[in-house]
Amino acid sequence: MSVRAIRGATQLDLDSVAEMELCVGQLLTQMLEANNLSKDDLISIILTATQDLKSDFPAAAARKIGLGSVPLLCSVEIDVVGALPRVVRVMMHANLEGGLTEVKHIYLKGAAVLRKDLAQ
């Protein structure tokens, strides 16, 4: 078993607590399911949000789906001119069987354009 980083991102339709909970909850759930992970396999999760998302912390959504015992860290994404708005990015660290090429990275909604090479 190796420590692996799993990437993911989603784009919110609007900046609201409900939208943050829905989108981040869906993203994290799909990342876990696609990689056949349980909460006990997780080491930590880093979540970033673009500067236009101010309604809530993405980590609050992670806690709502039962990941409160996992170390969570939120940060602000750098503000690049022309960057996709209302995006939450995730880097999930987990104990995972298999090699790097077997990791399933998840990009949802408008965020799928961010990494077409990684998106499932």
pLDDT above 70 as % of the chain = 95
The total number of structural domains in the chain stands at 1
Check if the beta carbon of residue 46 is closer than 8 Å to that of residue 119.
no
Query: Which domain does 33 fall in, by range?
Result: 2-113
Kindly indicate the confidence band of residue 39, based on its pLDDT and cuts at 50, 70 and 90. Answer: very high
Residue 19, domain member (yes or no)? yes
Residue 98, domain member (yes or no)? yes
Burial 47-60 (b: 16+ CB within 10 A, else e): bbbbeebeebbbbb
Residue 119, domain member (yes or no)? no
Residue 46, domain member (yes or no)? yes
Residue 6, domain member (yes or no)? yes
Strand order from edge to edge, sheet including 2-11: 72-76, 42-49, 87-96, 2-11, 106-107
Q: Which residue has the higher pLDDT, 22 or 120?
A: 22
Catalytic residues, by residue number, are: 7, 63, 74, 77, 89, 107, 115
Task: Return the CATH number at 54.
Answer: 3.30.1330.40
